[in-house]
Structure 1
Amino acid sequence: MPYNDLRQFLSVLEDNNQLLKINEKVMPEPDISAAAAAVNKLTSSPALLFNDIAGYHNRVAMNVHGSWENHALMLDMDKNTSLKKQFHEMNSRWLNYPVEPVYVDQAPCKENIINEDINLFELLSLFRVNKGDAGFYISKASIISRDPEFPDDNDKQNVGIYRLQVTGKDELSIQPSAFHDIGIHFSKAERNNEPLDIAITIGNEPVITLMASTPLGYDQSEYKMAGAIQQKPYELIKAETSNLDLPAGTEIVLEGKIYPNKRVVEGPFGEFPGSYSGARKQPTVKIHTVTHRNNPIFENLYVGMPWTEIDHLIALNTSVPVYQQLKEEFPEVQAVNAMYTHGIGMIISVKSRFGGFAKAVANRVFSTPHGMPFTKIVIVVDEYVDPFDLNQVMWAMTVRVDPTNDVQILNNMPGVALDPTSNPSGMSSKMIIDATTPVAPARLLEDTNLVTLPDGSDEWLTKLQQMIKDQ
């Protein structure tokens, strides 16, 4: 079922034993991040809702997308649905794009409107995500912007997640990377020495957060894709001061402008590769209007050494677009696993048509919108190898790879600056590992007769799973 807001999803998580409510008083630091880091070490790691935070009035939600069980519930599937089935379900819904959104006139996010004396330190339950961060970061907000050259084109309106450092009572810094849609929007505005209107929405229902972290095409609408994924038109409401469209179910909205030709030092910040980014000069955002629900929930994201919530959040929604792009040209592609460090590592299963086919597919990854800057290592396996099962992948790596012939290195390629091995920053070498069984005219392996499972194994698997469930 589609969720109207974050609160409804938290209730569903609670009903499925995927939410822990922390009612004892906690300190903003280090308790919130410490708990969010620790919960990822648990099986079926649940979401966390902190109800009593010293010095703050508002509750904090963490780890909302932080397990495959939560991910399955977001898709209205049984929480024990396998990862591979979730991948193919997302892919099938992807094909329903576009589903036009609908607009509502009223929403709880308009219950309170503030347009003077804004103080983010009082309105938000802020804390450092990691102890080495330069300051307070908002790491899970959806940020909405429009292409200033096409202000009425909803397909060029973007919803994305970009890190925000709170630098003043009504100011933030933002990282609009050049290869992100908001970077294109801001560069166009800055060339004309004009500010860019943005809206920062905090505490969203789970599907739009998923879409905001998805590498869609520049003229693909996150709202139309959210409708396809949730199988119902997505509900929007207009911003107070601009023509931006907002998720109607959000908890908090910060409306403001990114100002041109003004930079402040931002960072360091603990990032998804598991290391701190450096300090850089980034554009500034001035907040002029805030709207929020009564007693709003502040949702944030713990980012650190994998696996954490961000690795679940940007896993399948990175894998599916790359799969779609490859499948269009190579129907033999079976599945794509781009879950590792936001697709810096990628595993592809493919049915090879001829010798060298796997390497050709892997090279195509490096020209996809996401693979060009992010992907550094591609492993290609046979169609009968589950790319989401690392035991099977390692089997293929150990008995299907001839290091002399099956490893390819590409130098001086685009890279992502947050990868600490990029040198210089934003440039990288790339590696392809062909772990497929050779087909003609490549030199064939001497013996590739595979051992198959005994007859009846699938039936016994179902029976044993039911026995465990009934215990």
Structure 2
Amino acid sequence: MTESLNSAAPLTLRHWLRHLADTDRLVVARSGVALKHQLAAVAKRLDASKAVFFPQPGGHAIPIVSGFMARRSWIAEAIGIKESDLLASFRHAAENPLPWREVAAGSAPCQTVVHRDPDMRVVLPIPTHSEHDSGPYITAGLVIARNPVTGIQNVSINRIQVNSKDRMAVLLLPRHLQAFFRMAEEQGLPLPVAIVIGVDPLTLLASQAIAPIDHDELEIAGALHGVPLAVVKCLTNDVRVPANAEIVIEGHLLPAVREPEGPFGEFPKYYSSRENREVIQVDVVTHRSKPIFHTIVPAEMEHLLLGAIPREATLLGHLQRSFPGVLDVHLSVGGVCRYHLFVKFRKQREGEPKNVILCAFGSHYDIKQVTVVDDDVDVHDPAQVEWAVATRFQADRDLVLISGALGSVLDPSTTTGAHTQGEVTSVGRLQGISAKMGLDATRPVKYEGHVFTKVKIPGEDQVDLSAVLADGIDADILDLFAHDI
């Protein structure tokens, strides 16, 4: 692993953006692109090909950047590794975290400018992304909070709707941040939080680690960097935030308060419904001199890959502990990098793939479909996986089906309702109840002749085309094409 790109200093967001600019992977929009819809439309058109820098978006002095982590190869490059080593490197960092290093208050770049009693609608350029979004959203904010009992931090990315001058509604899924808030709320206490916007790619990736409770993801970020991450204590609470971040919003989750949030276009490429959500009261906003605001366009590659890679690393480790024959995993883009898992497996005995399927379902509740293929199939190529299903799978023999399991609450197919004694059960009661499907697309361990031998032409991988192809088409051959006889 490397600490940065061609430097002894830890990688920062600005280092990474300069590197993308120097390698023709960042473009600059004209000044004044509209914050409502237009900015997201531009970023989406360039998704996975170019990061986009927006000067003076909507006339605001703070620029916006989007799409700087939209390819797997870019993420591996930021860490300083080969793309094929991405899951192993992330897994190693998650299993070997480095405690962060605290710097003195007042010395951190993220606290250079302080806005007390801020109006969020004025201080920051917050885009409205999708057509039916209920308002402007912070989509790339790392929400950091401390366990009210142990004091150990958790880092996550949560969608945050800016409702007014200093109040924001936030979606809390049933994970660690929600658990921390419930602990505080049961005591009638607010939960202090910080929302960090504009961090380096490694810290952003680490925030999505599937780690046990009371494992601070900022320590995983340090492991990815190869040096302890520099952090600083917030001005109004005890939360520690990355010292080199661009922007920090300090606030607290209010106990026993809920306000409307949504609809919002989420990663499944559908809208989540409008519901009453938890509320963050904003206390202070701090930022660098000339800060950069990061926004993630929902449901596009930056959003999907940030969730996929940490999940894949965790799933691979979990499966390999029980099944050493598991060689690789991939959460497919068609399955929104959450719901459909492909597993490459070296099968030794019949029946093993079904056990792998069941283990995968127990690894993360979001997983809805698991396809197990042999070790001659590239799980990163959907066409190869489909070929394996087409030629090695029979539904009456190789299908695993589980009804009524917990799935993703953001999967719209889990909220369609069900009829009970002639009446439709409320959507809320059914939200997240999902069927799970597993496909054993592996060939038999033993088979006659070459019935399951993959067709291959000797030398196809080694042929040197430059040695066998001519330099252009000569006149005699062109003349031949011109005559029918």
Q: TM-score, normalised by structure 1?
A: 0.89
Task: State the AA in 2 paired with 1:210.
Answer: L
Distance 1:69 1:332, change over 3 A: closer
- Structure 2 gap segments, 5+ residues each: 5-9, 416-429, 472-485
Q: Residue 279 of structure 1 aligns to which amino acid in structure 2?
A: R
In the alignment, does 2:315 pair up with 1:322? Answer: yes
Aligned to 2:478: none
Q: Quick one: distance in 1 between partners of 2:293 and 2:466?
A: 41
What's the TM-score once normalised by structure 2's chain length? 0.86
Of 417, 421, 431, the match for 2:437? 431
Is this contact kept in 1: 2:357–2:370, CA < 8 A?
A: yes
CA shift in 2, pair 1:70/1:384, >3 Å: same
Q: Is 2:329 the counterpart of 1:336? A: yes
SS at match of 1:421: helix
Count the aligned residue pairs.
444
**8 Å Cα contact 1:61-1:298 kept in structure 2:** yes
Residue 89 of structure 1: CA displacement?
Answer: 4.2
SS of aligned partner of 2:327: strand
**Matched residue of 2:355: which SS?**
helix
Asked if structure 2 preserves the Cα contact closer than 8 Å seen for 1:143 and 1:201, the reply is yes
Question: What's the CA shift for 1:344?
Answer: 0.7
* CA-CA distance at 1:298 after TM superposition: 1.1
1:384 deviation in Å? 2.3
Inter-partner Cα distance in structure 1 for 2:217 and 2:169: 23
Name 1:45's counterpart in structure 2. 49
SS in 2 for 1:416: coil
Q: Which has the larger radius of gyration?
A: 2
The aligned runs of 1:209-224 (5 Å cut-off) are: 209-224=204-219
The aligned counterpart of 1:198 is 193
For 1:100-158, what per-residue CA distance to the aligned partner results, in whole angstroms no more than 9, with x for missing partners? 22222221111112223x1011111022111210111101100101111112xx3xx10
Residue of structure 1 equivalent to 2:407: 415
CA contact 1:4–1:249 (8 Å) conserved in 2? no
Query: Cα 1:168–1:231, aligned 2, differ >3 Å: closer, same or farther?
Result: same
Aligned residue for 1:75? 79
Cα deviation code 1:424-469 (max 9, x no counterpart):
21110000011111237xx9898222334523724749999xx9xx
Shift of 1:190: 1.1
Partner of 1:287: 282
CA distance in 2, matches of 1:462, 1:169: 64
What secondary structure does 1:404 align onto? helix
Q: Percent identity?
A: 28
Equivalent residues in 2 for 1:206-355, closer than 5 Å: 206-304=201-299, 307-339=300-332, 340-355=335-350
Q: 1:207 deviation in Å? A: 1.1
Distance 1:256 1:85 in 2: 38
Give 3-state SS (helix, strand or coil) of 1:336's partner.
strand
Which residue in the other structure is 2:99 paired with? 100
Q: Which residue of the partner structure matches residue 169 of structure 2?
A: 173
- Residue 418 (structure 2) aligns with: none
Distance 1:63 1:115, change over 3 A: same
Greater shift, 208-217 or 278-287, is seen at: 208-217
Q: CA deviation digits over 1:230-258, x for unaligned, max 9?
A: 22222211111222110111111111110
For 2:406 and 2:294, how far apart are their aligned partners in 1? Answer: 33
Q: In the alignment, residue 138 of structure 1 is paired with which amino acid?
A: I
Corresponding residue for 1:388?
A: 380
Matched, 1:163 2:159: yes
Moved more, 453-462 or 288-297: 453-462
Check the 8 A contact 1:330/1:361 in 2, yes or no: yes
Secondary structure at 2:412's aligned position in 1? coil
- Name the residue aligned to 1:33: 40
Q: Is the 8 Å Cα contact of residues 94 and 211 (structure 2) preserved in structure 1?
A: no
SS at match of 2:393: coil
The Cα offsets for residues 376-416 of structure 1, whole Å up to 9 and x where unpaired, read as: 01111112211111222122111111111111110000011
Partner AA of 1:434 in structure 2:
D
Counterparts of 1:100 and 1:5 in 2: how far apart (Å)?
18
2:143 aligns to what? 143
Task: Give the distance between the partners of 1:230 and 1:243, measured in 2 at CA.
Answer: 24
Cα displacement (A) at 1:85: 4.3
In structure 2, distance between residues paired with 1:84 and 1:463? 29
Which consecutive residues of structure 1, in runs of 5 or more, have no partner in the other structure? Answer: none
Tell me, what secondary structure is at the counterpart of 2:413? Answer: coil
Across the aligned residues of Structure 1 and Structure 2, the Cα RMSD in angstroms comes to 2.3
Match of 1:127 in 2: 127
Alignment CA distance shift 1:149-1:462 (3 Å):
farther
Q: 1:182 to 1:133 in 2, by over 3 A?
A: same
Letter in 2 for 1:449: T
Which whole-Å CA distance do the structure 2 matches of 1:455 and 1:185 have between them?
59
- SS of the equivalent of 1:224 reads helix
Q: Does the 8 Å contact 1:84/1:388 carry over to 2? A: no
Give the Cα separation in 2 of the matches to 1:11 and 1:405.
54
Rate the CA distance shift 1:463–1:132 in 2: closer, same or farther, 3 A: farther
Match of 2:481 in 1: none
